[in-house]
Amino acid sequence: MNRIPMKTPLVEIDGDEMTRILWKMIKDELLEPFVELNTEYYDLGLPHRDETDDQVTVDAANAIKKYGVGVKCATITPNKARQKEYDLKRLYPSPNATLRAILDGTVFRTPILVKGIEPCVSNWKKPITIARHAYGDVYKNTEFRIPGKGTVKLVYEAEDGTVKEQTVFVFDGPGVVQGMYNIDRSITSFARSCFTYALNAKQDLWFAAKDTISKTYDGQFKAIFEKVFEEEFKEQFEEEGITYFYTLIDDAVARIMKSEGGIIWACKNYDGDVFSDMLSSAFGSLAMMTSVLVSPDGYFEYEAAHGTVQRHYYKHLKGEKTSTNSVATIFAWTGALRKRGELDGNGELMNFADLLERAVIHTIENGTMTGDLIRLSTLEKTKKVDSLEFIQAVRSELESCM
Ligand code: NAP
Ligand code: MG
């Protein structure tokens, strides 16, 4: 069989532990036999990050800027225990945070739906994608305890020396106070990423905040979204037949519960933190959740939403069988290959990505799945397989579709 050629390299970012093991299995069994993989490889496995003083992470981000599309394996964010385990020179920051800081993007998370793994909300027929603004607000707050009577003020000193001052509250006893901020530049790039993603996915975009209460702060989010939409995206949305819809956050929650899905839901930082966990657990499992970082400049980085599955890795090292779900990692590859194909006008590659996704879904819907899904499945006949057997089952399904 002729393998599918690739014109432009895909930025391949390898990672750690069990997902690193799955990564190789996926390449060996599901990609290399069918595609002449053209990748520029960056090893973000913790030992190599340490050897390069984390330069490799920066290089990987710059490569995504150069080529436009990357695919990333889950990586360890080191803590003290990891520093000891890997004898690290220092505590490196989360690779995802480094990539995000360089590419300046928004993370979109979408569940993968299969028959037999039913969402808790029975009217959700299509996936709901969450876009979380990952900058500022309560995550960068300044707060303290108020010990007793006194006045709290908000003071802004402009560069030219002018001062703006407002009383927050006159305390007549102990309490708490916090200050937080956001910046127009970040909100604007968040809005652009969301509109770009919606166009790409050809789905409606919802954005919600609480501008009735927070007239200036949340009001600014609402205003920026509206401005970016009117000036840059409105016509393209009309051409694609999709809509942009703003509503209050509590109204959005009520509507989401009653919707059938198939929308992109843009959330402020805190809302996104809360509702992405609600959605992923309501849809089934983190191992069935894809994640893509979309930069406002149109760079794409695909990954799985889960971590390196450490517990399974230690079983694997002891020579025991593991039943680790590779679906989200396979979908990271298909997402990246499809996008690469789209940018290069490589229809064959795009078809292959579709076919591989279908093979994964058929395999699970026919009852063959890893342990995490067996627990959730409503199918009558299921067969639990190990990590490699699952990937091999997908391969035979894929070969029979071809
Ligand atoms: P995790 O790797 O997501 O795994 C937590 C648990 O969830 C697993 O022990 C397993 O449960 C289940 N699980 C997750 N993915 C699974 C899969 N594909 N198949 C089957 N079960 C799966 O989180 P963690 O163990 O807390 O973190 C491990 C490392 O991952 C950490 O060092 C962290 O820094 C890193 N991390 C990386 C990323 C990223 O790169 N994007 C994201 C999050 C965490 P059972 O043990 O019950 O089977
Ligand atoms: Mg959270």
pLDDT (tens digit per residue) in 71-130: 999 999 999 999 999 999 999 999 988 998 888 778 899 999 999 998 989 999 999 999
CA distances from 11 to 62, 163, 258 (A): 10, 48, 39
Pocket perturbation via mutation, ligand 1, pick of 46, 132, 306 by most ligand atoms within 8 A of CB: 306
- 292 or 100, which is more confident: 292
Going from the Cα of 108 to the center of ligand 2, the distance in angstroms, rounded, reads 14
pLDDT value of position 221:
98
Encode pLDDT of 168-218 as tens digits: 999 999 999 999 999 999 999 999 999 999 998 999 999 999 999 999 999
Name the CATH architecture for the domain at 1-112+296-402.
3-Layer(aba) Sandwich (3.40)
Is residue 128 within 8 A of residue 111, CB to CB? The reply is yes
- How many angstroms is it from 81 CA to the middle of ligand 1? 16
pLDDT for residue 332: 98
Candidate from 85, 86, 308, 331 with most ligand 1 atoms within 8 A of CB, to mutate: 308
- Measured by CA distance, the residue closest to atom 44 of ligand 1 is 307
Question: Among 11-15, 72-76, 106-110, 312-316, where is mean pLDDT lowest?
Answer: 106-110
Whole-number Å distance between alpha carbons of 82 and 382? 37
Residue nearest to atom 16 of ligand 1 (CA): 287
Q: Fill in the DSSP letter of residue 233.
A: I
CATH of 118-140+182-283 given 3.40.718.10, 3.40.50.920, 3.55.10.10, 3.40.1190.20: 3.40.718.10
- DSSP per-residue letters across 202-217: T-EEEEEE-TTTSTTH
Strands 263-267 and 128-132: parallel
The whole-number pLDDT of residue 241 equals 97
User: What residues are neighbours of ligand 2 (ion), with CB under 5 Å?
Assistant: 273
What residues does CATH 3.40.718.10 cover in the chain?
1-112+296-402, 118-140+182-283
Which ligand 1 atom is nearest residue 73's CA? 40
The answer to whether residue 135 scores a pLDDT higher than 90 is: no
Residue 325 predicted with pLDDT over 90: yes
Using the CB atoms, write b or e for 170-197: b if 16+ within 10 Å.
ebeeeeeeeeeebeeebbebbbbbbbbb
State which ligand 1 atom lies nearest to the alpha carbon of 324.
19
Which residue has its alpha carbon closest to ligand 1 atom 37?
Answer: 307
What are the tens digits of pLDDT across the range 224-278?
Answer: 999 999 999 999 999 999 999 999 999 999 999 999 999 999 999 999 988 988 8
Instruction: Please name the residue whose Cα sits nearest to atom 12 of ligand 1.
Output: 309
Please state, in angstroms and rounded to a whole number, the distance separating the CA atoms of residues 294 and 108: 8
Percent of the chain with pLDDT over 70: 100
Pairing of strands 10-14, 69-72: parallel
The predicted structure's pLDDT at residue 82: 96
pLDDT score, position 1 = 72
Task: Report yes or no: 346 and 7 within 8 Å, Cβ to Cβ.
Answer: yes
Smallest CA-to-CA distance from 359 within 378, 323, 379, 333 is with 333
> Which residues line the pocket of ligand 1, CB cutoff 6 A?
74-77, 96, 286-287, 303, 306-311, 324-325, 372
Report which of 133, 352, 293 is spatially closest to residue 221, judged by C-alpha positions. Answer: 133
Measured in Å, residue 285 CA sits from the centre of ligand 1 at 11
CA 126 to chain CA centroid, Å, is 18
Closest ligand 1 atom to 75 CA: 40
Give the three-state DSSP class for 261: coil
Closest C-alpha to 148, from 171, 169, 167, 168: 171
Give the mean pLDDT of 146-168: 97
By residue count, the chain amounts to 402
Ligand 2 center to 277 CA (angstroms): 6
What pLDDT score does 86 carry?
A: 95
